Structure 1
Amino acid sequence: MKENEEIQKVSQLYKVLSDPTRLRMLLLLKLGELNVTAIGERLSMEQSAVSHQLKLLRDTHVVKSRREGKTIYYTLDDHHVIDILNQTFEHIKHQ
């Protein structure tokens, strides 16, 4: 039973990572902490669209947030996210 739950979680993670917009967000966050406005400006996206994508990333524990006053800043949740991205891009380079 536990194995099936883990498979479901891995599958959900890859679904979240499969979207090009979310991948671009993660590559930005790989460089450091950003708020919704900064992400939107760099990706030429509306704040509502950025917030929607960040919620999906947050719900799957790919990013985390912290509040400073009225502003919420986002970062990658942990080094595993960076490792997954780095290894995936390395794999693509070898094709």
Structure 2
Amino acid sequence: MRLNLACELVSSNFHVVFNVANIIGSPLATASHHLRTLKKLNLVKYRKEGKLVFYSLVDEHVRQLIQLASTHSQELMTVGK
């Protein structure tokens, strides 16, 4: 779930929590929990605009790591078939 969420952040610079929940198909509370966990791990950052909270990846290094992990995960699924 968190890899899917991080991959979604790779494809776009900023996401609002409710958009992330819709994209990954989870309740708002679940998406928010996963984003907080990623923030505690210093993988994502956030900024507030009024009541909206926008999340993004911390930097380009994290973006590259997530892309690599996603590619590796897809390769493992292909080999396992």
How high is the TM-score relative to the length of structure 1?
A: 0.70
Q: 2:8 aligns with which of 28, 40, 49?
A: 28
Rounded Cα–Cα distance in structure 1 between residues aligned with 2:29 and 2:72: 33
Query: 1:68 and 1:28, CA in 2 relative to 1: closer, same or farther beyond 3 A?
Result: same
Residues 1-95 of structure 1: pairs in structure 2 closer than 5 A:
21-32=1-12, 33-91=14-72, 93=75
Give me the identity figure in percent. 27
What SS is found at the alignment partner of 1:74? strand
Aligned length in residues: 75
Q: Which has the higher contact order (CA 8 A, sep 6+)?
A: 2
What SS is found at the alignment partner of 1:45? coil
Letter in 2 for 1:55: R
Structure 1 portions without partners, runs of 5+? 1-20
Structure 2 portions without partners, runs of 5+? none
Q: CA deviation at 1:49?
A: 0.5
Q: What is the Cα-based RMSD across aligned positions, in Å?
A: 1.7
Q: Deviations over 1:59-88 (max 9, x none)?
A: 011000000110000000111111112333
How high is the TM-score relative to the length of structure 2?
A: 0.81
What SS is found at the alignment partner of 1:61? coil
